[in-house]
Amino acid sequence: MLFMLKIGSPQFNPQLVVFDKDGTLIDFSAMWGGWIAEVGGRLDALTGLPISTPLFRVMSYDPLSGHVSDGPLAGTTMDSIRARTLAVAIDSGLTADSAEAAVERAWHLPDPVALARPLTDLPTLFGKIQAIGAKVAVATIDDRAPTEATLAGLGVAEMIDALVCADDGIPIKPAPDMILTLCDRLNIHPSQTAMVGDSTQDLRMGRAAGVGVNVGVCSGVTPAEALRPHADFVLDSIAAIT
């Protein structure tokens, strides 16, 4: 029996549901907002320069609200985020060597377990999907080690049928390769797949891969009006999936 993904009306019966991670399964700003604030603060203290101000602007982070908007934190890999941080430090007046030394000292990874706040009861949601015949996969531009730690900490690691991450050597979103890889591993056609994500990159990936339905969620970095042109449905969060 196939899972009936009910999103208002009509209904779609996927054999595979692919979820983005940050902003879709877990609170994006809780994971990444505090982290970039701490990196910026460390750089200011280490260099005596106001590096955090342009850094926050580049990373689309609002230090007053703690909210992260669609930008590099949501759409690029950790290597790219570090490179952009280094560029901001150089643009702020540091030499290349001084900037590298400062970034090296300020850089750290967010705690993938302590900062992971689920946006719904994930074991229950995944269990219901799998109990009636569909598989669950995750496609994220975060690296594999922290992603696996997050999923384990949330108690759902064993419920994920397939996982692709930024450092797997697969072209990342919005290219279709992540979804196509998951479908190939699970022997499920993209047309029998639902993509669920909080960014336009997630949904553009779904379109490029030819998924049966693209579901945008407003729980992350992108407002509904930006998701709608790329989505078949837009929900407040994955909690609305029944």
Q: How many domains does the chain have?
A: 2
Instruction: Say yes or no: 59 and 130 in one domain.
Output: no
End residue of a domain, out of 106, 130, 161: 106
CA gap 17, 207 in Å, rounded: 14
CATH number of residue 17's parent domain: 3.40.50.1000
Residue 5, pLDDT score: 60
Instruction: Say yes or no: 63 and 134 in one domain.
Output: no
Per-residue HEC secondary structure of 130-141 comes to: HHCCCEEEEECC
- Domain that residue 78 falls in: 29-106
Read off φ and ψ for residue 197, nearest 5 degrees.
Answer: -155, 165
Decide if 150 is inside a domain.
yes
Which tens digits make up the pLDDT trace of 16-29? Answer: 999 999 999 999 99
Q: What does pTM read for this prediction?
A: 0.90
Instruction: Say yes or no: 168 and 232 in one domain.
Output: yes
Decide if 89 is inside a domain.
yes
Q: 219: which 2 tokens?
A: 């729980």
Instruction: Say yes or no: 143 and 233 in one domain.
Output: yes
Which tens digits make up the pLDDT trace of 144-180? Answer: 999 999 999 999 999 999 999 999 999 999 999 999 9
What is the residue whose two structure tokens read 């997630």? Answer: 202
Kindly compute the dihedral angle of the four CA atoms of residues 164, 70, 78, 67, in this order, to the nearest 10 degrees: -110
Mean pLDDT over all residues of the chain?
A: 93
Instruction: Say yes or no: 132 and 48 in one domain.
Output: no
Instruction: Say yes or no: 165 and 86 in one domain.
Output: no
Weakly modelled stretches of the chain, pLDDT under 50: 1-3, 8-9
Half-sphere exposure of 210 (CA within 13 A, CB side): 8
Instruction: Say yes or no: 58 and 159 in one domain.
Output: no
Instruction: Say yes or no: 131 and 144 in one domain.
Output: yes
Cβ neighbours around 118 below 10 Å, total:
18
